[in-house]
Structure 1
Amino acid sequence: MKRVLITGGCGFIGGHVAQELADHGYRVRLLDALVDQVHGDEAINLPTGAELIKGDVRDRDAVAEAVADVEVVIHLAAEVGVGQSMYEIARYVGTNDLGTAVLLEALIKHPVERIVVASSMSIYGEGLYRTPDGERIDNARRKPTDIKDGLWDLRSASGEALSPIPTDEEKRPDLASIYALTKYAQERAVLIFGQAYGIDAVALRLFNVFGAGQALSNPYTGVLANFASRLASGKRPTIFEDGEQKRDFVHVSDVATAFRLALEQRQAAGHAINIGSGHAYSISEVARLLAKAMGIPKRPPEILDKARSGDIRNCFADIAKARELLGFEPKHRLENSLGEFAAWVRNSVVIDRGADMRRELEERGLVS
């Protein structure tokens, strides 16, 4: 019956993690600022017996109250979204990095057994690639001139086409957005702190998380929720570039299980670990699968043939380390879970702000 603090515990992932831990006998305390962009006017559903402290992770007093008498911490509180991070820079750095610093300082006075932080696949930038002769390339990056000319796929310095392969944790970080920068700072701060103070620390590098409960009115949340909002509003999903960029989509229930395992598996301490499905999907394929699941298969996505600043081409997970250290095995494939997701969308309030997001980026010159 350990008491766990979940920062950002009322968010999409936080809510599922809270329920997972409550179901496994943890006493759950949540700290959440209940930001309008994420929560709007929606009611907050807490697991039975859970305690909620409404407060910002940057508020020292609220954080001190939240960490008192807890034994383990899951740190999810963060601003999320590559595009928005490129112009609301102070907001992202403040919440993600200063907020983490405030939490860690509080844990000096109130030590815990373990802290698990949500990191992100965005810290990799481009994922791993191989050349035609099998050489591993972990520092691939597109040239701005190629992007401007609509040459979306990556090539080696000699002009050879590179093939994307699953990205493992040995791939060097390449921070392509302010959001990625802040997530890497969160990850490293927690791992450095844990080593310095003798507290077990684990970082989970989450790939694209999907499932019921995503904020359908927040265009900077997951791509699947963004597509669902467009489709439910009678509009076509919009996709940057040519739609053939590949991502890994992992179900939120599997992510919640991963966080519980990260609290419980001793051998995970000190590690950064990928949490994904281990499968790659093109973004246009995802849009078509979702439209079919929502009963409107003849509403194809709108391919913009434009690039968004901070985006990368391909990144999908190698989850061998998660299997080894956590005993993690994802149970929900994207193509088998979209019916459930579509049913939830049909019973939810949807406000499509996708056009607002695109306009905000274009006005700042972040789309080319």
Structure 2
Amino acid sequence: MFTFPADPQEIVDERARQFTACGIPARVVAAARDEIDDMWGMGPGGWVPVWARHAERADRDGDLLLSALCWGAARFPALATPGRRFAYEQQLECYLAAAPRFRAAFKRQILHIPWADGTTDGTTDGTTPVPVHFLRRPYGRPRGVLILSGGVDTWKMDLHRLASATALATGLLVAAIDMPGTGESAVPLTSGADRILAGLAERLRAEHALPVGFLGLSFGGHWAAKLALLGEVDAAVDLGGPTGAAGEPVDVLNLPYGMAGIIGNALHLDALPTPAQVAEQLQAFSLRAQGLLDRPDGAPLLAVNGADDQYIPRGDTTGLAGRPGTAVWLVRGATHCAPERFRPVILAIWGWLTARLTARPATALAERAARLPLTPHLVTPHLSPRA
């Protein structure tokens, strides 16, 4: 793990919409921005101490979930310092303390999934522990299982609001996880780590006797696309994931807002990646280079992103459009993961997923209704939700 150049005010400005969407009030985000003057230091204006003060204030006020979310902001964007590792421990402690008050029924479980990549990193007896946060409606039987994963810097507890809303709105059992290389994952980010996620899907399908879907945001969308192409899940949604589908170059080392350092930490590197390492990793993670785009089989896949993504080439989304069983939605005037239109996007995603994981005439009708608010915001007719 390592620190890297990053301007704290720029980071807060760029992530403000994300922090508020996760549940941190805008006034708290604005106050933190005004107080922070150091990304990595532990002085009064340091990133971790500032967010820690807001977390402790929320704790004193009895709002344990907000405290957990502020501790999550404190550990952002990577566990590169002792202060951030402490903040992450505090986030988990506060989150679990808040769980009895969640609207959705909650259970935490650590599953041991087979994993052997030629190293001993994160393995015990050929398995790796995968902490899973399950959320479901407090009544009735789930209609399917949905694995939910964020990306390299937004992890399972940060996505609580989305996980809870998805469980309550769809009736699916949501299994929130940290993707390999992040959060509580014990293994580094590697191109072959989809085997852990495939093993998790297989385990959940066997234990619950239900279809299993995958919703991945940002880099989590890479895993969604790969698992669908391999047919390891019953349906998947890739929201803003890098895929290499069009073979467009990505200048990783010059991505904004410290993204090269964030990815390097997920890879468990000790410093920023070199140009040679970047080229090697881009090739390794490219789904086109892996030959997966030529497969005639697989599972239904929905690929969604903003048309003006600041990190991912447009072709990483649109390049999936020719695959059978794949729909592509490109959202006009939106950036990475389309936060500017997130409500109509997620509503349409819920409709798409439930229609495929719980196929009934009613869910097909609900899918058509759920996508109506999104349709005017799509870039071109040939990328419409009817694809």
| Pairwise same-fold verdict (TM > 0.5) | no
Could you tell me the TM-score, scaled by structure 2's length? 0.31
By relative contact order (CA 8 Å, sep 6+), the higher-ranking structure is: 1
